[in-house]
C-alpha cells in the first residue's frame, strides 16, 4: 500500500496512521503524534521545495479552519483578559497543524486506499481499547465488584461524550466499508466487520452518553434508509434496523439507569424549574450569546461573561464550576459572534457541499461524518478540549482529502 511512496511521504503517512491509533488511547499521545505529523510535513515541505500546485490554492475546509483560528486571534484586540485568551489560543493552536500539514505539502500521493487505511487503524485502536476496558471490568467483577459498578462510569474514565463521538464515527466507517466495498472484501473480513458492530454499540451504551445514544439511533435509522434506497432490498433493511435497534434497546435495559437518564433529561427540559445543570447551562449561555451577537465578547473574556450570566440567573453550580456553554455553536457565538460563526460552519459543511457537487462515490460517508460532528457539537463544546480538537480537526481535513480523491460515480471508468 505504501511501496510506491517516497521515504518522506511514508513518514508523513505513518504519522497520520499513528494519530488514528493514539486518539482513542489518550489525547496526550495524540498531541505528540500531531507534532510528529507537523515535523514530517515540514520535512516533506523542505524536500519538495514549495512546489505547490493548483489544488493547494483552492478554497476549502483547510483554509476555513485557519481563518477561524485567526478570527479567534483577532478577538484578542477587544478582550480585556489577555492571559485567559492566550491560554485558550494555545490549546486551539493544534487546529493549525492539520490543515497546514496538507496545504503546504504535495498531497496528490494520498489515495482513497491510503485514507481507508487510516480508517482501519482507528477502528482497530477503538476495538483494542474496548477489549482492554472490558478485561479490566471483568477483573473487577472477579475481585468482588458488582456488575453495575464494573460496567458503570469507571469502565472508561474519560469524558463519555468524546468516546461516544469516536464510536459513532467508527460505526459510520464500518457501514461504508461493508456497503461500498462488499464485493472486494473476503468473507473473513466481512465477518470481522460484522463482529465489530455489536461491540461498538455495546461500548456506546456502557459509556452512557445521552448525545451518543441519540446519535446511535439516528445513525441506525439513516443507514437503514440508505441501504433500502440503494440496494432496493426493503425487507433486508427492515431486518437490519430491527436487529440493531433490538440489540441496542436490550443492552440499554440490561444496564440499569441508562434509559432513565435520557427520560429524566426530557422531563426536566419541559419543567418550569429545571434541575438538570445542562438545561440551565444552555439557557444562560444562549442569553449571554445574544447580547453581543456580531463579534462576541472576545476569546479572553467570553468565559467570564458566561459566569456573570450564571450569577444573574442564580445558577450557583455554574458559577462555582465555571461551566462552558456545552454547545460549540453557542461557544463560538460567545467568543467571536456571527462573524466567527461563518468560517466555523463553513469548515464543518464545505466537505459535504463539495462531495455533493462532485457526486463522489463516498458522498454518503462524508454526509454521515458531517452529520455526526454537527449533531454532537450541539451537546458539547468539543473544540475547547484536546480530546475533541485533536479528533474533529483532522477528521475535517480527511473528509476534504476524501472529496479530492474519490471518483465521481457518474463519470466514465477511469476518470475522476
More confident residue, 240 or 113: 113
Asked whether residue 40 carries a pLDDT value surpassing 60, the answer given is yes
Asked whether residue 155 carries a pLDDT value surpassing 60, the answer given is yes
Q: What is the pLDDT of residues 49-107, one digit of tens each?
A: 444 443 443 458 888 999 999 999 999 999 999 999 999 999 999 899 999 888 877 77
The arithmetic mean of pLDDT across residues 136-140, rounded, is: 91
Check residue 267 and give its pLDDT: 57
C-alpha torsion angle, residues 36, 196, 259, 370 (rounded to 10): 50
Q: What is the pLDDT of residues 321-341, one digit of tens each?
A: 788 889 999 999 999 999 999
H or E segment at 115?
helix 112-142
pTM of the model: 0.89
Check residue 9 and give its pLDDT: 86
Check residue 303 and give its pLDDT: 92
The arithmetic mean of pLDDT across residues 391-415, rounded, is: 76
Residue of 196, 207, 194 lying closest to 133 (CA atoms): 207
33-42, 123-132, 244-253, 346-355: the lowest-pLDDT one: 244-253
> Rounded mean pLDDT of the chain?
85
More confident residue, 259 or 181: 181
Check residue 415 and give its pLDDT: 39
The arithmetic mean of pLDDT across residues 301-322, rounded, is: 86
Asked whether residue 32 carries a pLDDT value surpassing 70, the answer given is yes
CA distance 89 to 95: 10
Asked whether residue 127 carries a pLDDT value surpassing 90, the answer given is yes
Asked whether residue 416 carries a pLDDT value surpassing 90, the answer given is no
Contacts of range 215-220, beta carbons closer than 8 Å, 24 or more positions apart: 215/164, 215/165, 215/168, 215/372, 215/375, 215/376, 216/167, 216/168, 216/171, 216/248, 217/245, 217/248, 218/371, 218/375, 219/168, 219/171, 219/172, 219/368, 219/372, 220/244, 220/245, 220/248
Check residue 399 and give its pLDDT: 93
Contacts of range 14-20, beta carbons closer than 8 Å, 24 or more positions apart: 14/40, 15/40, 16/118, 16/394, 17/117, 17/118, 17/121, 19/390, 19/394, 20/118, 20/119, 20/121, 20/122, 20/125
Check residue 170 and give its pLDDT: 97
Q: Supply 247's cell numbers.
A: 440489540
pLDDT confidence tier of residue 349, bands split at 50, 70 and 90 = very high
More confident residue, 265 or 216: 216
Q: What is the pLDDT of residues 217-230, one digit of tens each?
A: 899 888 888 888 88
User: Which residues does residue 408 pair with via DSSP β-bridges, in sequence order?
Assistant: 360
Amino acid at each position: 500500500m505504501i511501496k510506491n511512496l517516497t521515504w518522506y511521504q511514508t513518514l508523513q503517512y505513518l504519522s497520520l496512521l499513528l494519530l488514528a491509533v493514539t486518539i482513542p488511547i489518550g489525547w496526550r499521545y495524540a498531541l505528540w503524534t500531531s507534532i510528529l505529523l507537523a515535523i514530517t510535513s515540514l520535512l516533506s515541505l523542505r524536500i519538495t521545495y514549495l512546489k505547490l500546485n493548483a489544488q493547494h490554492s483552492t478554497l476549502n475546509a483547510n483554509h476555513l479552519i485557519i481563518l477561524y483560528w485567526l478570527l479567534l486571534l483577532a478577538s484578542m484586540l477587544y478582550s480585556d483578559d489577555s492571559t485567559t485568551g492566550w491560554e485558550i489560543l494555545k490549546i486551539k493552536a493544534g487546529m493549525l497543524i492539520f490543515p497546514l500539514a496538507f496545504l503546504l505539502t504535495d498531497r496528490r500521493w494520498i489515495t482513497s486506499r491510503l485514507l481507508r487505511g487510516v480508517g482501519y487503524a482507528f477502528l482497530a485502536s477503538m476495538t483494542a481499547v474496548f477489549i482492554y476496558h472490558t478485561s479490566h471490568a471483568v477483573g473487577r467483577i472477579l475481585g468482588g465488584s458488582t456488575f453495575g459498578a464494573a460496567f458503570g462510569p469507571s469502565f472508561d474514565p474519560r469524558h463519555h461524550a468524546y468516546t461516544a463521538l469516536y464510536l459513532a464515527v467508527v460505526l459510520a466507517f464500518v457501514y461504508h466499508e461493508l456497503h461500498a466495498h462488499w464485493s472486494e472484501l473476503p468473507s473473513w473480513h466481512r465477518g470481522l466487520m460484522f463482529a465489530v458492530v455489536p461491540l461498538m454499540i455495546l461500548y456506546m451504551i456502557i459509556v452512557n452518553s445521552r448525545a451518543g445514544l441519540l446519535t446511535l439511533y439516528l445513525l441506525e435509522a439513516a443507514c437503514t434508509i440508505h441501504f433500502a434506497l440503494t440496494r432496493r432490498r426493503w425487507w433486508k433493511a427492515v431486518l437490519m434496523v430491527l436487529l440493531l435497534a433490538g440489540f441496542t434497546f436490550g443492552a440499554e435495559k440490561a444496564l440499569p439507569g441508562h434509559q432513565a437518564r435520557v427520560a429524566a433529561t426530557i422531563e426536566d427540559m419541559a419543567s418550569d424549574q429545571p434541575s438538570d445543570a445542562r438545561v440551565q447551562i444552555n439557557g444562560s449561555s444562549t442569553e449571554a450569546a445574544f447580547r453581543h451577537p456580531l463579534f462576541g465578547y472576545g476569546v479572553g473574556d467570553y468565559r467570564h461573561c458566561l459566569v456573570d450570566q450564571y450569577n444573574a440567573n442564580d445558577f450557583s453550580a455554574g458559577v462555582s464550576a465555571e461551566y462552558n456553554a456545552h454547545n460549540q455553536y453557542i461557544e463560538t457565538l460567545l467568543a467571536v459572534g456571527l462573524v466567527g460563526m461563518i468560517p466555523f460552519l463553513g469548515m464543518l459543511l464545505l466537505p459535504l457541499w463539495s462531495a455533493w457537487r462532485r457526486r463522489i462515490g463516498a458522498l454518503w460517508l462524508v454526509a454521515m461524518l458531517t452529520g455526526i460532528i454537527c449533531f454532537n457539537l450541539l451537546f458539547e463544546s468539543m473544540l475547547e478540549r484536546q480530546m475533541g480538537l485533536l479528533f474533529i480537526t483532522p477528521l475535517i481535513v480527511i473528509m476534504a482529502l476524501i472529496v479530492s480523491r474519490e471518483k465521481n460515480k457518474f463519470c466514465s471508468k477511469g476518470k475522476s
